[in-house]
């Protein structure tokens, strides 16, 4: 289960935070680390702060864009102290997030994404997330150091996994219907965009229509089967539009 959970750090500025995050992960049984565009990596400071978790740092994958880091994931949770105006499903209790994520991670890859030290995750990066999670903290000073935020959420995942192993009543069943990966969702959104444009539906560029629809699908969490029905429907609309306007 924990091996299906990937920690993604976006554009980390201080290499020490990469090492400290790796250590936080390993203490909680996690090992899959992906770095998106780190400022300085590999770096001695990262290795030094990893203490006994150098293996997590050495085996980290590095990508240029967040989309590549999460393409195969069916659930992508952005950690952010601040609520944005994107209507993403939001966990304000990390233990609820952990229970949900552990259930999904029984069969599919999931990612927990952390932002930059200075300005967190951009809105564009949050658009690649299916959910957002916030760690409750002092309302006047609620932003944790990056590695400490990684520690808190990894702890919750570890505890949630222990709970599912220990209590029969809490044993979560794997989902009956598999969720689509981010890559499959991205293909669906491209298809939707193309059809809406072709049939003349996207007439008001400022209405944020597509953003609202993305949020709707993020909340609904369609299964792979449901997504393929929607794609079939879009293809039928596309064909009809072509037949009427050859």
Shortest Å, Cβ 196 to ligand SAH: 32
Residue 123 class from Cβ within 10 Å (0-12 exposed, 13-18 middle, 19+ buried)? exposed
149 binds ligand SAH (CB under 6 A): yes
Q: 98-127: which residues touch ligand SAH (CB under 6 A)?
A: 114-115, 117-121
Dihedral in degrees, nearest 10, Cα atoms 128, 133, 137, 142: 0
Nearest to ligand SAH of 118, 206 (CB atom): 118
Beta bridge partners of 79: 114, 133
202 lines the binding site for ligand SAH (CB under 6 A) = no
Q: In the complex with ligand SAH, which residue's Cβ is closer, 79 or 88?
A: 79
Q: Degrees (nearest 5) of the Cα angle 119, 122, 124?
A: 175
Among 146, 160, 185, 195, binds ligand SAH (CB under 6 A): 146
Q: Is 76 helix (H, G, I), strand (E, B) or coil?
A: strand
Residue closer to ligand SAH, measured from CB, 143 or 186: 143
Is residue 137 a contact point for ligand SAH (CB under 6 A)?
yes
Q: Among residues 152 and 241, whose Cβ is nearest to ligand SAH?
A: 152
Nearer to ligand SAH, 10 or 104 (CB): 10
Give yes or no for residue 21 binding ligand SAH (CB under 6 A). no
Query: Please, which residues have CB within 8 angstroms of residue 218's CB and are 6 or more apart in sequence?
Result: 88, 89, 129, 130, 131
Report DSSP state, residue 201.
-
Nearer to ligand SAH, 99 or 156 (CB): 156
Q: Whole-number minimum distance, CB 102 to ligand SAH, in Å?
A: 18
Using CB under 6 A, pick the residue from 52, 58, 87, 142 that binds ligand SAH: 142
- Is residue 135 involved in binding ligand SAH (CB under 6 A)? yes
- Nearer to ligand SAH by Cβ, of 119 and 200: the residue is 119
95 forms part of the interface with ligand SAH (CB under 6 A): no
Q: Is 82 in the site for ligand SAH (CB under 6 A)?
A: yes
Burial grade of 176 (CB within 10 A; 0-12, 13-18, 19 or more)? exposed
Tell me the C-alpha distance between 204 and 80, whole Å. 30
Phi, psi of 116 (to 5 degrees): -70, 155
Instruction: Give yes or no for a contact between 196 and 108, defined as CB atoms under 8 angstroms apart.
Output: no
Footprint on this chain of ligand SAH (rule: CB under 6 A): 79-82, 114-115, 117-121, 134-135, 137, 142-144, 146, 149
């Amino acid at each position: 289960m924990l091996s299906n959970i990937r920690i993604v750090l976006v554009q980390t500025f201080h290499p020490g935070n990469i090492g400290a995050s790796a250590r936080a992960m390993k203490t909680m049984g996690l090992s899959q680390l992906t770095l998106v565009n780190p400022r300085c990596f590999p770096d001695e400071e990262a290795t030094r702060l990893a203490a006994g978790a150098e293996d997590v740092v050495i085996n980290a994958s590095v990508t240029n864009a967040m989309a590549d880091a999460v393409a195969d994931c069916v659930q992508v949770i952005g950690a952010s102290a601040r609520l944005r105006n994107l209507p993403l499903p939001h966990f304000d209790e990390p233990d609820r997030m952990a229970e949900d994520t552990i259930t999904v991670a029984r069969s599919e890859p999931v990612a927990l994404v952390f932002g930059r030290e200075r300005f967190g995750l951009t809105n564009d990066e949050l658009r690649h997330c299916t959910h957002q999670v916030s760690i409750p903290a002092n309302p006047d000073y609620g932003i944790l150091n990056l590695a400490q935020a990684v520690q808190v959420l990894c702890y919750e995942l570890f505890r949630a996994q222990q709970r599912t192993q220990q209590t029969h009543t809490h044993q979560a069943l794997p989902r009956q219907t598999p969720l689509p990966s981010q890559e499959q969702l991205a293909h669906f959104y491209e298809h939707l965009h193309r059809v809406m444009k072709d049939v003349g539906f996207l007439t008001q560029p400022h209405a944020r229509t597509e953003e609202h629809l993305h949020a709707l699908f993020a909340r609904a969490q369609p299964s792979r089967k449901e997504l393929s029905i929607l794609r079939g429907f879009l293809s039928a609309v596309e064909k009809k539009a072509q037949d009427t306007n050859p």
